[in-house]
């Protein structure tokens, strides 16, 4: 039995991990899906002060309060940034960091830095003077790659349940001490594994620190916990055994 902490990406809460959680528990694992401050059922806490360190502290405190050890800390998409920082703060409690459609961005890099300038401008215009990043429209015609594998009921669930993301979690840069690195794994869905391996060899910043980690491919869209939850649970279970 392994111990998992599941951290969602932008706009989502613990609810997005429901089917993965059930599958992992049926395999005998202990599983803690998380909702980060300011999102889902905690969206009433989405003040302008909520940033990347807030979400990092959410993860650290859950692990410490529940007294978890040998944790497989899973971060999906934008959840990879607080996961990387949390593992840096409490490496003695983390067995492995698993990046799902994510990666350990280099220090002093923010999620916003990975977005093309024209998209940054569009997002800034949508945000205006506010402090929340609105969720996407969840329109498969406009975003077929990322939304691949999601049926209409699931898309409807995303449109209903996704909540705006505290902006500073996207604009605050990642910062780690780097003193005690922990093992890593990657689950790639929208990037073919051969391309990921090439990017790692070329030291692409998206995959900094994954050269010695496990690499797994799960072809689907950007939200595999919703499009392929059983398959994702099986990959996570495999990671515990290798």
Which residues are catalytically annotated?
A: 77
- What is the rounded distance in angstroms from the CA atom of residue 77 to the CA atom of residue 98? 11
- Of 123, 160, 121, nearest to 138 by C-alpha is 160
The tokens 């959680």 sit on which residue? 21
Dihedral angle over CA of 166, 167, 172, 176, nearest 10 = 30
- What is the rounded distance in angstroms from the CA atom of residue 65 to the CA atom of residue 15? 21
Question: What are the Cα distances from residue 184, in Å, to 50, 72, 112?
Answer: 27, 9, 23
Given a contact cutoff of 8 angstroms between Cβ atoms, the answer to whether 150 and 223 are in contact is yes
């Amino acid at each position: 039995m392994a111990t998992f902490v599941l951290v969602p990406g932008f706009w989502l809460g613990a609810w997005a991990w429901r089917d993965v959680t059930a599958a992992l528990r049926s395999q005998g694992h202990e599983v803690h899906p998380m909702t980060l401050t300011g999102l889902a059922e905690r969206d009433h806490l989405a003040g302008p002060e909520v940033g990347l360190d807030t979400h990092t502290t959410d993860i650290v405190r859950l692990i410490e309060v529940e007294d978890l050890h040998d944790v497989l800390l899973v971060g999906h998409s934008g959840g990879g940034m607080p996961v990387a920082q949390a593992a840096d703060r409490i490496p003695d409690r983390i067995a492995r960091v698993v990046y799902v459609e994510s990666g350990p961005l280099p220090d002093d890099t923010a999620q916003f830095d990975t977005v093309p300038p024209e998209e940054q401008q569009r997002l800034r215009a949508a945000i205006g003077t506010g402090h929340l990043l609105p969720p996407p429209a969840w329109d498969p015609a406009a975003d077929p790659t990322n939304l691949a594998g999601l049926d209409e009921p699931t898309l409807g669930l995303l449109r209903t349940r996704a909540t705006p993301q505290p902006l500073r979690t996207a604009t605050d840069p990642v910062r780690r001490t780097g003193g005690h690195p922990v093992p890593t794994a990657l689950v790639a869905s929208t990037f073919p594994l051969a391309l990921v391996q090439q990017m790692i060899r070329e030291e692409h910043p998206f995959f900094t620190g994954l050269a010695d980690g496990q690499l797994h491919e799960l072809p689907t869209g950007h939200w595999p916990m919703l499009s392929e939850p059983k398959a994702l649970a099986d990959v996570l279970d495999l990671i515990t055994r290798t």
